[in-house]
């Protein structure tokens, strides 16, 4: 995690003053709290659950904002932009992971086992599978180039592909049990890959959000 500490230590605000890392972490949790409250994302949570989630979102936003940029490039940090629940941000990816967990909790079909032979893949399923298959190669490239940005941006591309799939293909409401089963399996694979990618970056993913 040395590269992350180094970049935080060198960060400057828009005013040109050096940013203290501890103060920045507190500010990020506060910003996550304000935005989450405005969007009603954590309704029904206990106070302790909310505070824990605010910190997870805030730290995730900070780490992701820093790590999505190539280490050789300079960054201008914007706390509010980094906690946006849309676009190339940590919270957007965390929220997609939490959305998938909600789908898995609602599913009444056991996703274990093989899909029947002859299952016809939807074009959105094919695109998502292709994206999932890129993950091992991305990890190798990131290691070879000392660039966590490759992993961060892969996670964003995967989430974009999943959200396109989610918007265009019915998962739990599909017509056939085999379609539901496969799409639940595929969604679970996406969630696992998101979690693994963020684990490489030192970022946690909340189960609910």
Q: Dump the DSSP string for 112-157.
A: -SPPPTT----HHHHHHHHHHHTHHHHHHHHHHHT-HHHHHHHHHH
Q: Is 165 exposed, middle or buried, given 0-12, 13-18 or 19+ CB atoms closer than 10 A?
A: buried
67 belongs to a structural domain: yes
- Does residue 36 share a domain with residue 105? no
Instruction: Supply the range of the domain harboring residue 171.
Output: 95-200
Given a cut of 70, the residues of the chain with pLDDT beneath it are 1-24, 38-40, 75-77, 79
Say which CATH number the domain at 117 has: 1.10.730.10
- pLDDT tens digits along 40-81: 677 778 888 888 888 898 889 989 988 998 777 776 667 677
pLDDT given at position 136: 98
Q: Which of 53, 68, 94 is the last residue of a domain?
A: 94
Do 81 and 99 lie in one domain? The reply is: no
Residue 139 lies in a domain: yes
pTM of the model: 0.82
| pLDDT for 27 | 75
Domain match, 100 and 195 both: yes
Residues 185, 101: one domain? yes
- If one counts the domains in the chain, the total is 2
């Amino acid at each position: 995690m040395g590269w992350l500490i180094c970049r935080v230590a060198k960060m400057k605000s828009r005013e040109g003053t050096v940013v203290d890392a501890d103060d920045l972490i507190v500010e990020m949790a506060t910003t996550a709290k304000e935005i989450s409250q405005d969007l009603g994302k954590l309704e029904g949570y206990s106070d302790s659950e909310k505070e824990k989630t605010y910190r997870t979102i805030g730290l995730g936003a900070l780490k992701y904002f820093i790590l999505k940029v190539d280490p050789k490039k300079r960054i201008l940090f914007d706390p509010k932009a980094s906690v946006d629940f849309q676009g190339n941000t940590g919270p957007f990816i965390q929220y997609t992971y939490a959305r998938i967990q909600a789908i898995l909790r609602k599913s009444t079909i056991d996703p274990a086992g093989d899909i029947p032979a002859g299952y016809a893949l939807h074009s959105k399923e094919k695109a998502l599978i292709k994206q999932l298959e890129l993950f091992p190669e991305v990890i190798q490239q990131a290691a070879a180039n000392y660039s966590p940005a490759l992993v961060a941006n892969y996670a964003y591309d995967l989430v974009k592909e999943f959200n396109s799939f989610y918007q265009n293909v019915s998962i739990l409401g599909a017509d056939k049990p085999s379609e539901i089963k496969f799409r639940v399996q595929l969604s679970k694979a996406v969630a696992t890959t998101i979690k693994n990618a963020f684990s490489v970056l030192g970022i946690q993913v909340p189960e609910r959000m």
